[in-house]
Amino acid sequence: MLDMLFTQCSTIDHKFLRDVGVKCGKIVHLADHSNGLLPESREVVDLQGKLLLPGLVETHIHLDKALLLDRLSGDVTTLQGAIAKSGELKRFFTAADINERSLRVIRQAVIHGVTRMRCHVEVDPVIGLIGMETILALKERLKDVIDLQIVAFPQEGIFRDCVTQGLMEQAVSMGADVVGGITYNDRNLEEHLDFVFRLAHKHGLPVDLHADFSDRPEQLAILEVVKTTEKFGMQGRVSVGHLTSLGVVRKVRAEAIAEAIAEAGIHVMCLPATDLYLNGRGVEQAAGRGLTPVQLLLDKGVNVVFGSNNIQNAFTPFGTADPLDIGLLVAQTSHMGSEKDAGILVEMATTRAATALELDSYGLRIGADADLVVCQATDVRSLLYTRSEREKVYKKGKLIAETLVSSNCVI
Ligand SMILES: [Zn+2]
């Protein structure tokens, strides 16, 4: 006897309607829709063609510095300005404050269908390990609602002071899931990467770097990241966020670099809300779109995904914690308007993201966790383009969020 059976579900990768059965929090039945004999189930939900997705995956977000707009005086319009301003605000962060803002963002994300999330938590002399302690506690507290992956993130660099190296090691001992790094905010790139990869390798953890966040084609750390990935044998276990410098490199060279990225199995996370906001300013020539070249990377076989990055702060004044909002932004800015593109974009927030984050028990397949999202839309294009609601969100078969919408209009 199943606990729940969803019938007549549209899915991203299947032409025909399907039936999906859940028992003890796992998907145990998956078949083309049958009008005949259905497996017995305590509860049957007829989706009548609505999309059923695996839980959305937020690949890259900063909970600890989210929702700071009301503390900012004046606009911040450069990356260095955003780092400096956030550094000032960070002095006044407390555990209760980080907890409250993080919880608000997670709640929004869950309502939008997110059941797994990778968050970068800052580790430095200003905040010490307060962010780590707070988000680790949230991870435990919310484990029945969302899986949080925590990246120990040295936003201020690792070698600009004498304590961050030790703090990074402590963060890993406390339970960080991923070792973070930043290629543009430290004294020496090689030294920085060596530290990050050595720490990750020692503990068997993946690496997730903020990399090449600029409009300048000469600022390309990615080749050094490729080299270091291969040196440590970490192919497939490294992600880079931003990578916008590659978007202004000449096409022939960008293609060769994309091939090297694909060869090293590095996942690329496009972070368009921040990149479009901060890049492309103050340059004499048109600066392109300020994004990593999503299509070119895809063409070369790179696993490209996207993330929210920031929610309403100095880096990005916008944000609703809905990965599909970011998917629409990528569609609009990376010439991805076809039906096939829409499917790829939804995969970027689901299965492709799961690959980047090395998620277990994930997907619309037998044996996976029943993390499921019932969409109001019946196809991927209307899901993305009309920002349609996620009606119901399930974590391991349990209903964790529901959105009811009713509108009135005279016409
Ligand atoms: Zn980031």
d(CA 240, CA 198): 17
Tell how far CA 170 is from the center of its chain: 24
- What is the reported pLDDT for 218? 82
- What is the reported pLDDT for 77? 79
- What is the reported pLDDT for 389? 92
Q: Which residues contact 121 (CB under 8 A, 6 or more apart)?
A: 63, 64, 131, 132, 135, 150, 151, 152, 153, 171, 176
385 CA → ligand 1 middle, Å: 25
Residue 208's nearest CA partner among 259, 155, 151 is 151
What domains can you pick out in the chain, each with its CATH number?
Answer: 2-54+362-402 (2.30.40.10), 56-356 (3.20.20.140)
Cα dihedral 373, 375, 380, 384, rounded to 10, equals -100
Q: What is the mean pLDDT of residues 369-386?
A: 94
60 CA → ligand 1 middle, Å: 6
Q: Which long-range contacts (CB under 8 A, 24 or more apart) does 159-162 make?
A: 159/186, 159/187, 159/188, 159/191, 159/192, 159/195, 160/185, 160/186, 160/187, 161/124, 161/125
d(CA 293, CA 222): 14
Residue holding tokens 């829409």? 342
pLDDT at 14 over 80: yes
Q: What is the mean pLDDT of residues 117-121?
A: 98
pLDDT at 287 over 60: no
- The more confidently predicted of residues 320 and 73 is 320
Structure tokens at 157: 């660099």
Q: What is the mean pLDDT of residues 131-152?
A: 98
Q: What is the mean pLDDT of residues 88-111?
A: 96
Residue 269's nearest CA partner among 288, 299, 291 is 291
Q: What is the mean pLDDT of residues 269-282?
A: 85
117 CA → ligand 1 middle, Å: 13
213 CA → ligand 1 middle, Å: 10
340 CA → ligand 1 middle, Å: 28
- What is the reported pLDDT for 122? 97
Pairing of strands 2-11, 14-23: antiparallel
d(CA 59, CA 116): 8
Q: How distant, in Å, are the alpha carbons of 78, 95, 257 from that of 226?
A: 27, 36, 9
Q: For residues 241 and 269, is the Cβ–Cβ distance under 8 A?
A: yes
> Which DSSP string corresponds to 91-106?
TT--HHHHHHHHHHHH
**Exposed / middle / buried, residue 338 (Cβ in 10 Å: 0-12, 13-18, 19+):** exposed
How long a stretch of residues is the chain?
411
What is the pLDDT of the chain when averaged over all its residues? 94
d(CA 79, CA 85): 10
210 CA → ligand 1 middle, Å: 6
310 CA → ligand 1 middle, Å: 7
Per-residue pLDDT of 42-61, as tens digits, reads 999 999 999 999 999 999 99
- What is the reported pLDDT for 387? 86
- What is the reported pLDDT for 276? 86
- What is the reported pLDDT for 225? 98
Q: What is the mean pLDDT of residues 330-343?
A: 89
Q: What is the mean pLDDT of residues 348-355?
A: 98
121 CA → ligand 1 middle, Å: 10
Q: What is the mean pLDDT of residues 177-194?
A: 96
Percent of the chain's residues with pLDDT above 90? 80
- What is the reported pLDDT for 36? 75
- The more confidently predicted of residues 330 and 276 is 330
d(CA 113, CA 374): 8
Q: How distant, in Å, are the alpha carbons of 55, 166, 248, 327, 331 from that of 324?
A: 12, 37, 26, 5, 10
- What is the reported pLDDT for 285? 61
pLDDT at 34 over 90: no
- What is the reported pLDDT for 286? 53
pLDDT at 284 over 80: no
